[in-house]
Structure 1
Amino acid sequence: MAKRPVHSALMLLGAMPFLACALLPLTGVTEIDGLGRLDQLAASYGMAILCFLTGIHWATQLYASEAAPFNLFVGSNVVFLVVWIAFVAAGLQWAIVAQLLAFPVLLAIDYRLCQAELISRQYLRLRTVATVLAWFSLAVILVS
């Protein structure tokens, strides 16, 4: 069996809080004592993950600016600021809607980075799986 990079496991484990926040309400759990409501936890966790993903784009721009398909500093800042403004100013539902838009946009950027051979196909496949898990979890949370 081939040895998988640590980032593979971490990326998939990173989607688990989204899944937990989407599925626990089906069992009657809507909040975690001391932490808050699951929809709020999912939205704040989404902010952290989006910050992390846009930070990866910043690093890519820093280390491979000539090969980047466009200015990743600008692209990642626009995406993150839109999501952050929705999070702090527009209410929880709009924050989740903004995240539902941001995750596929960032995945599309990663697709372009893969085409430019700045990230591997393996990484893009895992990012796609993690994004789909996060996206569907947030969609379930939004409509619940």
Structure 2
Amino acid sequence: MKAMPLILSHHLRAPNLNHLRPCYVYSSSSNEIQMKQGCMKAFYPYLTLSGALPFIFCSLLLFAGVDTVPFFGNTEHVLKTYALIIASFLTGIHWGQHLSLTGKWSRYLPVLSNINIIVLWLLYLMLPFQALLFAFVLSFLTSLAIDRKLYQEALITPVYFKTRCSASVLVILSLIASGFFM
């Protein structure tokens, strides 16, 4: 990654970057702050878990009887659309993983991911809200089961699998709760 220049005059002290470690390093000789190689990997668990927040938020709104979210529309529509986006994202991750694998998973992942999202999309178009939530739960459980097999075969890291498990539990519980609030 290209370093971002930091212009320091002789009147200013170098910024205290202790709170940004280990991702950033300040070089006084070049007056630059540089990101260490592989640093974004430290952020992905937080980004993954933050992806569960809209599920939790919509579930709380449905529990509170809020039918419409200002600027976004119907709460059910917001939840089911976001769930379809995230399910699509997860199946896209599986499809992308097959590109770097050999053996059975290089064949299984693209087929499983395509079947999963196409069936889910058709159900999105056809099912009433509560039944669709059940379909989303099954889809997220299927994606997690695939990740479990990939983890058991050492094809994904323990940190990635643990993060996926945590996020999936939050999402699945939110979807189940949302179905009960209807």
How far off is 1:5 after superposition? 1.3
How far off is 1:67 after superposition? 6.4
Does residue 108 of structure 2 align to residue 71 of structure 1? yes
Aligned counterpart, 1:52: 89
Distance 1:143 1:79 in 2: 24
TM-score, normalised by the number of residues in structure 2: 0.72
Distance 1:65 1:87 in 2: 33
Share of identical aligned residues, percent? 33
Letter in 2 for 1:121: P
Does residue 122 of structure 2 align to residue 85 of structure 1? yes
How far off is 1:28 after superposition? 4.3
How far off is 1:70 after superposition? 5.5
User: Measured at CA, do residues 32 and 111 of structure 1 come closer, stay the same or move farther in structure 2, by a change above 3 Å?
Assistant: same
Alignment match of 1:37 (pick from 51, 74, 86): 74
Letter in 1 for 2:147: D
Structure of larger gyration radius: 2
Does residue 46 of structure 2 align to residue 16 of structure 1? no
Distance 2:43 2:148 in 1: 21
CA-to-partner distance for each residue in 1:75-110, whole Å, 9 max, x for gaps? 111111121111012232222111011111100000
- Count residues in correspondence: 144
How far off is 1:30 after superposition? 2.9
Aligned counterpart, 2:142: 105
Q: Compute the RMSD of aligned alpha carbons.
A: 2.1
Conserved? CA contact 1:82–1:98, under 8 Å? no
Conserved? CA contact 1:22–1:137, under 8 Å? yes
Which structure has more relative contact order (CA 8 Å, sep 6+)? It is 1
| Structure 2 unmatched ranges of 5 or more | 1-20, 23-40
| Structure 1 unmatched ranges of 5 or more | none
